[in-house]
Amino acid sequence: MSVKQVVIYSRYSSDMQRPESCGDQERGIRAGLARRVIDAAGAVVIRDEAESGTRTDRDGFQQLREMIARGEVAVLAVDDQSRLTRAGNAFSFIQDLVFSGGRFLSTGEDIDTAVPGWELKVQVLQLHHGQTVRDLQHRVHRGQRGRVEADGSAGDFPYGYESYYLDPDWAAQLARRGPKPKKGLCVCEDEARVVRQVFDWFVAGRSIGWIARELTKLKVPKGRRASEPGWHTQQVHRMLTNAKYVGNWVWGKTTTLRDSGGRKRQAAVPTGQEVARERPLLRIIDQDVWDRAAARLAELNQTFGCKPGQKRRGPRPNPTDLHPRSPLGGVLVCGTCGAKMWQHQSTGRRYYACPGTKKGLCAMTTQVPADRAEGALTVFLLDMLRSWPDWMRALYRLTCDAVRAAADRMPAEQERDTRRSTELGREIDNLVNVLASGLSSPAVVTRLRAVETEKAEVDRRVTEYAGFGTAAVALPDEAWVAARLGEWAARAAADGPAPLLRSALASATAEPVIAAGKTRGFVRLRFRVNAWAALAAAVGDALPDPLRSRLPDPGGTGPEFTLDLGEPTAMDRWAPQIAAWRGAGVTWEEIVRRTGLDLNRAFVAWKRFTGATDEPPTA
């Protein structure tokens, strides 16, 4: 049975804030616990430093989740609820804690789940903290928009420009409290020469790849935002397509969207909401050069760009990632350097080894015996998936919630996509009419191709909706899923270790376990189970295709497990105790009697241990 513990959690948001904030929060939490007569002397302290509360992939937050899933949290105490999370998941998180037998305390807000009515307080504060983030975003956006409309600097200038303080006494303004001095924009001549050279090379027929290599070879600085040396083709392409170089400054074309887990993406804003300014004094490239570069880009895109329905190009994956030659190849990583361990053979036996060892880049000399590792992991996974542990049961409940939510959203999504398909059809007709009138425009052709691609995707979803119908979704019960999960695992293992290991393992790390004074030892495997993939394999065919494709991954990796592919020798186990006994004056005859080791082995174990730990020997 898991031992329940008191947990103190603290967090601050930005690396510009005081690192002492977590300590201040902890002090206030301990005082609040003392007032409630809760002993926090042995409390587990978890911190997230310089981490946004809108994200759920924080290390400390994930550690809390795992402890709650294992039923290890008796009391979770925070200074205020926003320290735990500012996303829309506070109530569900605290509800899961209470369900597992825990208690939540917000000492600064007097929230206690042991007091009836806590649900209302938590949900109201969840709304409040979420709105605070949105209000801050609105105020920052409003201020930046004002600076842009005044032709000032909002930090959105690319390579080739620099900002400067508008007020002569800017240094004094920075030194005192209050508003920060305003900034303007001007051309940075050193960088502007590079921009002009890039455009000249391109219109002269040089490829984007050649330009990137030439800039790297010449060691041209990449500007204030560069984090790595060397130029990349994407940087050159962005430069060639940036209309700011001809004085057309558009700001606010995208906005930031967050999902329930705090992940962010950029989305286009409705037409007309962006700010467009003409800034002829900031022009770097002549219009003729810009037009010639745009024409060549359009020609290259027409020849080599993605066609309607074609997948976007990208870096080619390593063939061994797509077609691994061993069950753990590409999955098992080195616990010392993080490199993927690959299979090799020695004296007819298979091993996994770190590729950095031979290159002198990694100190991991211990090899993983392949057959033993694969066999131990297969047996463990089979037993675990058949036993239907509590944390997988909790994940299945999250899956059911996601299914119901997806089913509830589908009618609205169907109506939205149907309407969008009609709009895209009209836009395609208009663009085709423009081209039919004799106007030859690369921009119109590019837009038509993009609209056709989007309409094909929208029409595909509309077809899925039609096949789904309006029938209620019947979810299988937990007993059925548990049985199916065990059957799936058994079928996968029957085909050899590879199908089960590659489907059910989310990650696996090999660490050497070497006793003090020795150079060789055994391997410890640390791994997590991809429970989400296992559940999807078990219940996926019980759900309609439109729903299955819309299910989010709720973080379906389970707790971390360990497997030792070996064990310490008797000499290794007794060595620390022998050193302690010798320090206390125990005779060698008595040590031999207590340990069962012969005198020579006991002496070697003591000598090896004291030599490695710098303990003073007592012969």
The whole model's pTM is what? 0.45
The chain-wide mean pLDDT, for the chain, equals 83
Which pLDDT score is estimated for 548? 57
Sheet-wide strand order for 522-530: 332-334, 505-513, 522-530, 557-565
From CA 186, how far away is CA 330, in angstroms rounded?
49
Confidence label for 94 from pLDDT (cuts 50, 70 and 90): very high
Which pLDDT score is estimated for 147? 79
Sheet-wide strand order for 368-369: 342-346, 349-353, 368-369
The CA-atom distances, in angstroms, between 243 and each of 189, 276, 301, 425 are 18, 11, 18, 29
From CA 267, how far away is CA 236, in angstroms rounded?
23
* Cβ atoms of residues 120 and 111 within 8 Å: no
Confidence label for 334 from pLDDT (cuts 50, 70 and 90): very high
Mean pLDDT of the 201-205 span: 93
Q: Give the DSSP H/E element, type plus range, for residue 345.
A: strand 342-346
The CA-atom distances, in angstroms, between 603 and each of 441, 571, 584, 612, 618 are 87, 10, 16, 14, 11
Pick from 528, 489, 480, 484: which is nearest to 379 by CA?
489
Render pLDDT for 457-505 as a digit per residue (tens, 0 to 9). 888 878 777 666 555 556 677 888 788 888 888 888 888 888 888 888 8
């993983």: which residue's tokens? 368
Mean pLDDT of the 532-540 span: 71
Identity of the residue numbered 482? A
From CA 576, how far away is CA 570, in angstroms rounded?
11
Q: How far is CA 351 from the centre of its chain?
A: 31
**pLDDT surpassing 80 at residue 340:** yes
- Kindly report which listed range (128-132, 251-255, 397-401, 414-418) carries the lowest average pLDDT score: 397-401
Mean pLDDT of the 109-137 span: 87
* Cβ atoms of residues 512 and 364 within 8 Å: yes
Q: Record the tokens describing residue 426, joined without a space.
A: 């009209």
Burial of 413 (0-12, 13-18, 19+ CB in 10 A): middle
First to last CA, the chain: 44
From CA 451, how far away is CA 460, in angstroms rounded?
14
Burial of 344 (0-12, 13-18, 19+ CB in 10 A): middle
CA 555, 561, 563, 567 torsion-angle sign: positive
Mean pLDDT of the 566-578 span: 90
- Angle, nearest 10°, between helix axes 208-217 and 189-203? 140
In total, the chain counts a number of residues equal to 619
**What is the DSSP secondary structure assignment for residue 158, as one 8-state letter?**
-
Higher pLDDT, 197 or 267: 197
Render pLDDT for 537-556 as a digit per residue (tens, 0 to 9). 766 555 555 555 555 554 44
Pairing relationship of beta strands 161-165 and 44-48 according to DSSP bridges: unpaired
CA 361, 362, 365, 367 torsion-angle sign: negative
